[in-house]
Amino acid sequence: MALKIVKGSIDRMFDKNLQDLVRGIRNHKEDEAKYISTCIDEIKQELKQDNIAVKANAVCKLTYLQMLGYDVSWAAFNIVEVMSSSKFTYKRIGYLAASQCFHESTDVIMLTTNQIRKDLSSPNQYDTGVALTGLSCFVTPDLARDLANDIMTLMSHTKPYIRKKAVLIMYKVFLKYPESLRPAFPRLKEKLEDPDPGVQSAAVNVICELARRNPKNYLSLAPLFFKLMTSSTNNWVLIKIIKLFGALTPLEPRLGKKLIEPLTNLIHSTSAMSLLYECVNTVIAGHDVNGSPFLPPFSLALFLFLRFQLCVQKLRILIEDSDQNLKYLGLLAMSKILKTHPKSVQSHKDLILQCLDDKDESIRLRALDLLYGMVSKKNLMEIVKKLMLHVDKAEGTTYRDELLTKIIDICSQSNYQYITNFEWYISILVELTRLEGTRHGHLIASQMLDVAIRVKAIRVFAVAQMATLLDNAHLMTGNVQRKGICEVLYAAAWICGEFSEHLENPMQTLEAMLRPKVATLPGHIQAVYVQNAAKLFATLLKNQEGNTDRTAAQETSQLMIDRLPLFVQSANLEVQERASCILQLVKYIQKLQQKDVEVAEEVIALFAGELNPVAPKAQKKVPVPEGLDLDAWINEPPSESESEDEQPKAIFAKEEPKHSRARHTEVDEKELAKRREARKQEQANNPFYIKASPSSQKVYQEAPGVEHIPVVQIDLSVPLKVPGLPMSDQYVKLEEERRQKERVEKKKKEKKKRKEKRGGRGKKHDSGPESEEDITPAHMVDIVTEEMPLADSEKLPVRSHRAAEALKSPAEDGDAESPASQEPKKKSSKEKREKKKDKDGDRKVSVKNGNPTRETALWMYIYGAEIDIQGNLQDGSQVVVSVIFENKCDNFLKTMEFNVLDSLNSKLQRPEGSGPHDGLSVPFQLPPGVSNEARFVFTMQSIVMPQKLKGTLTFIIKDSSTHEKLDFKLHFTCSSYLITTPCYSDAFAKLLESGDLKCSSVRLEGVNMPFHHLLARICFHHHFSVVERIDSCASMYSRSIQGHHVCLLVKTSGQTVSIDAKCDEPTLLGNVLDEIKQTFSQC
């Protein structure tokens, strides 16, 4: 026996230990695989020995080899042997190996259950610890089931070392064996108050993970966690708790209210960025809750809003930090805000644009993501210009390609919503074609095609640009690197061919398309070239036959005949086929020409008719002609007994249906014309079909650039720049000039109006042209741009601004009590502009301090009265008014108190215990130049009448500590009690048939706007939704917060609009109609 042991130990002396193995591998860099395979053979030998020390050594080496990527699953049983050694040294190695190599499908795990149980109950805490650690890696459902009780017992072990491990492993057990959760939970909860902070934090971790999966079961723990949160100083634990609360608050809004203080304190006080970031993230997520079905009560919404503002400020600090990580995280969090509060992010545009210059690509990509959501009509050109600069500077194709796709994404999002000038866009696309080595040529091409087809007004310009591109095609094809961009030529050729009537010099373009070099282009592009050369040829013939001299036409034919054979030889079948077809055609035409026959009309008929974009699902809408059964066999199916050699025949026969179907769809000329007419009609009425609207036409005419674009001779020494193309910057400048001009004009008009008003005449102004400007996409007002609500034409799902809109009307009528009229007589120009904005329908009213000697101390924007959606579902009597306070003076404002004189019908909601005339203190102070929003809830008894409420705002100016007062009026229109509610046409019809509704109607004269704008206006201002629309007639529906149905039938003919309305409450209806009338009288 002794000899055997001695022999073993001598053997062992010659064995490699782990260090030897590692060294050996490092010394055999050339033939590592071979060396390792000999090592594995040795290990196999070692594992066969009885000596556990040798085995453990072998297993340790195997663990190392496993990490290098070698399969060691064959040694699983040996690992179990080492695990069950009674010596801690070996046990430790065994468990390590097991945790690295075992997984759920390892068979031998079944054998370990008893061994692990033994180790768990070992008197040595480190044995237990090692077993727990190992178990955390390879626990299976079976192990979890069998050992759940043992681990649960360990949660109350005397040693905290074991307790915390047991608690954490319990989570893994819950996952594998969910039945264990219920019995273990009380003990887990107990651990939240464990005297040892490690165990406590482990319990927090586990409950946090559990709560994330199923928050509502853990609401009852909130008070406990709240206590922990206020007492704990351990940031690791705090972060987990905050995360947990983030999961709980959506279920219990009151919780959010309680959290405000501790969270805000943490945000202010913590120096740990990780904790700050967590708080900020949670607040942002909490703020999202606003939009979710769990609408918190208004006070909470208000508090959340305040915290939210704080967070946005903090994020800005993060982004400005020099630490790249913080910058990145700041941008990441911003993009979360962007989804719900685009405006809050938009005010940081400068900062985000700066991040585009960052040297870190991931930061630039984050910033790009943000930009996508930040564009508006107003800033699109500017942002894209900035991006174009980056495209030029960018190193590395990946980032440049990313930029390119982003530019196109940004511009084309929601049906080109933000593009006001398509000429500019085409120029951008053309500029993008100069990019070297991009693989997004097809993307640019599809954009060019899309815009040229859908925006009729742009075609002349587009065709000119495309012709230049074709002319300079050699610049794109010359370089191998630029292969991707060739795709653009596909679009260019097609556009030039299809809209060839707009070409200035068709002959030149035709020649460009038939150059021998074209044969080097990819086949599908050549095919388009050939086809479109034919279209061009047709147009040319038509032009030239008009002349007396026939030789020109014949020369054109000759050119075609000379050049086309090149394509007939093409290896590409498509090109070959098209070319030979067209060549024959041209030859025939030439023959006719020689006989002096006029052919142009007939040739052009080949390409007559307009190609329209077809929706992907359009085919479904084509009715199957009567008597055609697409599933019926045309020939009897071949019986299976037929011999194989007959099968080709069957295939041939199958092709026949094609022909027969074609015959079916052939419709006579009249029918075609009729359909075309109908389609045109439909397009005219389809708001989603971009057409030559008067506004875009106007923009186009205003741009003087087109005719003056000099077509310069190509300078070949500068190969990459396509000469003669206008720079997109030009449009940015134009746009700026135009805006400037508008501004000046408006100012003038405004002055005039003001004079009139001062003259005491409250008559309404005819501001026709201005109202049209409202809809013109190019229209922009740039005063207080950051806070400006969106213009009418931007129908974004923003909170609508109702009461304020109503506020505007008294101001306009020159109502003596209106807040605006309290302005002092002396007005600085700035104030005037502010005033003017009210007129333009910007729906914002400034209420100004009445003290004429002082600079305006406080601006108060009442910019939206919203109906609290939750409130209306339950009691239908709550209206929320959001007020923005902006401090315009140089002093700190504090102790602001908002008070409204309640009427019988409407009351300001005050906190319990306060009297009916007490003011509500505004829950913030305002440093100079800062603005903030507060919300106030009003309770309404009846909503059938519009309401005006008088109110005052008192505040103290800090330094002078004088009390100031500000009077204002709140105007609640009936429309603000309506909620946009969708309604299906059948439900709508039922409603009308029911006979419960009272009828009323109104006529509007001189409404000069497209029908869909008119509808959009009603939808936007008065919260209706369109139920159905047929031509120039539409039915609309809305519901009041108290459940009144309001139905409208809007018809238009010429400039007259008639609205027939039905509602179950005649007074409400009358008022709503009056308001609609007013909306349109103002434009």
Partner 1 sequence: MIRFLLLFSRQGKLRLQKWFTAISEREKKKIIRDMTTMVLARQPRTCNFLHWKDLKIIYKRYASLYFCLAIENQENELIALEVIHRYVELLDKYFGNVCELDIIFNFEKAYFILDEFLIGGEIQETSKQIVNRAIEASDMLQEGDSSEWFEVELFG
Interaction residues for partner 1, span 284-343 (CB under 8 A): 324-325, 327-329
DSSP designation for 1055: T
24 part of the interface to partner 1, by CB under 8 A:
no
Give the 3-state secondary structure of residue 979: strand
Q: Could you tell me which residues come within 8 angstroms of residue 638 by beta carbon, excluding any fewer than 6 positions away?
A: 646, 647, 650
Contact with partner 1 (CB under 8 A) among 55, 163, 165, 1045: 165
Stretch that binds partner 1, among 131-139, 469-477, 815-823, 892-900 (CB under 8 A): 131-139
Residues 24, 108, 117, 137: which binds partner 1 (CB under 8 A)? Answer: 137
Does residue 430 contact residue 469 with C-beta atoms inside 8 Å? yes
| Cβ atoms of residues 207 and 218 within 8 Å | yes
Q: Is residue 126 part of the contact set for partner 1 (CB under 8 A)?
A: yes
Q: How far is the CB of 230 from partner 1 (least distance, A)?
A: 19
Residue identified by tokens 């398309």 is: 513
DSSP 277-335: HHHHHHHHHHHHGGGSSSPPPHHHHHHHHHHHHHHHHHHHHHHHSS-HHHHHHHHHHHH
Query: In which order are the strands placed within the sheet that holds 893-900?
Result: 920-921, 893-900, 947-957, 962-972
- Write out the two tokens for 321: 């930090």
In the three-class reduction of DSSP (H, G, I as helix; E, B as strand; rest coil), residue 559 is classed as: helix
What is the spatial distance between Cα 908 and Cα 938, in angstroms, rounded to a whole number? 4
Query: Does position 19 bind partner 1 by CB under 8 A?
Result: yes
Stretch that binds partner 1, among 136-144, 526-534, 696-704, 936-944 (CB under 8 A): 136-144
Listed residue (305, 265, 310, 314) closest to 286, CA to CA: 305
The CB-of-951 to partner 1 minimum distance in angstroms stands at 44
Q: Which of residues 68-87 bind partner 1 (CB under 8 A)?
A: 68-69, 71, 73, 87
Ordered DSSP codes for 65-129: HHHTT---GGGHHHHHHHHT-SSHHHHHHHHHHHHHH--TT-TTHHHHHHHHHHHHT-SSHHHHH
Site for partner 1 in 878-917 (CB under 8 A): none
Q: Please say which residue, 360 or 737, places its beta carbon nearer to partner 1.
A: 360
Nearest to 429 by CA among 448, 413, 409: 448
Q: How far is the CB of 100 from partner 1 (least distance, A)?
A: 8
User: Of these, 58, 83, 202, 407, which contacts partner 1 (CB under 8 A)?
Assistant: 202
Interface with partner 1 in residues 338-367 (CB under 8 A): 359-363
Q: Which of 191, 243, 835, 888 binds partner 1 (CB under 8 A)?
A: 243
Q: What is the DSSP string of 712-771?
A: PPP-TTSTTS-TTPPPTHHHHHHHHHHHHHHHHHHHHHHHHHHHHHHTT--PPP--HHHH
Contact stretch for partner 1 (CB under 8 A) within 201-209, 498-506, 534-542, 690-698: 201-209
Interface residue with partner 1, options 78, 98, 129, 1011 (CB under 8 A): 129
- Residue 99 C-beta: closest distance to partner 1, Å: 8
Q: Which helix (H) or strand (E) holds 871?
A: helix 869-874
172 near partner 1, rule: CB under 8 A: yes
Q: Judged by CB under 8 A, which stretch of 133-141, 414-422, 765-773, 949-957 contacts partner 1?
A: 133-141
Nearer to partner 1, 142 or 361 (CB): 361
Integer Cα distance of 203 and 167 in angstroms: 6
Q: Which is nearer to partner 1, 165 or 843 (CB)?
A: 165
CB of 61 to partner 1, least distance (A): 10
> How many of the chain's residues bind partner 1 (CB under 8 A)?
73
Contact (Cβ atoms closer than 8 angstroms) between residue 1036 and residue 1048:
yes
- Beta carbons within 8 Å of 824's beta carbon, 6+ residues apart: 850, 852
Q: Which is nearer to partner 1, 137 or 460 (CB)?
A: 137
Q: Which of residues 704-763 bind partner 1 (CB under 8 A)?
A: none
Q: How far is the C-alpha of 283 from the C-alpha of 289, rounded, in Å?
A: 10
Q: Which is nearer to partner 1, 68 or 614 (CB)?
A: 68
Q: Which of 49, 115, 122, 234 binds partner 1 (CB under 8 A)?
A: 234
160, 498, 755, 900 from 846: Cα distances, Å: 64, 54, 20, 17
Q: Does 1 bind partner 1 (CB under 8 A)?
A: yes
For partner 1, the binding residues in 34-63 under the rule CB under 8 A are 53, 60, 63
Exactly one of 81, 278, 487, 842 binds partner 1 (CB under 8 A); which one?
Answer: 278
Provide the minimum distance between the beta carbon of 133 and partner 1 in the complex, in angstroms, as a whole number.
Answer: 4
> Counting contacts by CB under 8 A, is residue 1017 touching partner 1?
no
Pick between residue 242 and residue 381 the one whose CB is nearest to partner 1.
Answer: 242
The residue within the footprint of partner 1, chosen from 108, 111, 273, 979 (CB under 8 A), is: 273
* Minimum distance, C-beta of residue 296 to partner 1, in the bound complex (Å): 22
Binding-site string for partner 1 from residue 85 to residue 124, where x marks contact by CB under 8 A and - marks none: --xxxx-xx--x--xx--xx-------------------x
What is the residue type of 306?
L
The closest of 998, 1010, 1017 to 1078, measured between CA atoms, is: 1017
Return the residue of 32, 35, 49, 64 that touches partner 1, per CB under 8 A.
64
Q: Which stretch binds partner 1 (CB under 8 A): 229-237, 406-414, 563-571, 741-749?
A: 229-237
Nearest to 407 by CA among 452, 375, 360, 378: 375
Residues 359-418 touching partner 1, rule: CB under 8 A, are 359-363
214 binding partner 1? (CB under 8 A): no
Read off the DSSP letter of residue 981: -
- Provide, rounded to whole angstroms, the least separation between the CB of residue 287 and partner 1: 17
Q: Which of 62, 82, 168, 301 binds partner 1 (CB under 8 A)?
A: 168
**What is the rounded CA–CA span in Å between residue 762 and residue 739?**
29
Beta carbon of residue 57, minimum distance to partner 1 (angstroms, whole number)? 11
Among 55, 163, 164, 971, binds partner 1 (CB under 8 A): 164
In the complex with partner 1, which residue's Cβ is closer, 138 or 425? 138
Distance CA 283, CA 344 (A): 14
Segment interacting with partner 1 (CB under 8 A) among 125-133, 659-667, 1036-1044, 1071-1079 = 125-133
Of 203 and 300, the one with the shorter C-beta distance to partner 1 is: 203
Is residue 249 a contact residue for partner 1 (CB under 8 A)?
no
CA-wise closest residue to 981 among 1066, 1047, 1034, 1067: 1047
Q: Give the interface segment with partner 1, choosing from 197-205, 304-312, 712-720, 830-838 (CB under 8 A).
A: 197-205
Least Å from the CB of residue 116 to partner 1: 15
Angle at 881 between CA 879 and CA 886, to 5 degrees: 175
Binding mask 840-859 for partner 1 (x = CB under 8 A): --------------------
871 lies in the binding site for partner 1 (CB under 8 A): no
Bridge pairing between strands 893-900 and 947-957 = antiparallel
Q: Smallest distance from the beta carbon of 78 to partner 1, in angstroms?
A: 16
**Residues between 801 and 840 with contacts to partner 1, criterion CB under 8 A:** none
DSSP-based three-state secondary structure for 517: helix
Specify the residue for token string 């720049």: 721
CB-nearer residue toward partner 1: 212 or 741: 212
Contacts of 760 (CB under 8 A, 6+ apart): 814
User: In sequence order, what are the residues at sequence separation of 6 or more whose Cβ sits closer than 8 angstroms to the Cβ of residue 122?
Assistant: 128, 131
Give whichever of 211 and 495 is closer to partner 1, judged by the CB atom. Answer: 211
Q: How far apart are CA 995 and CA 303, in angstroms?
A: 46
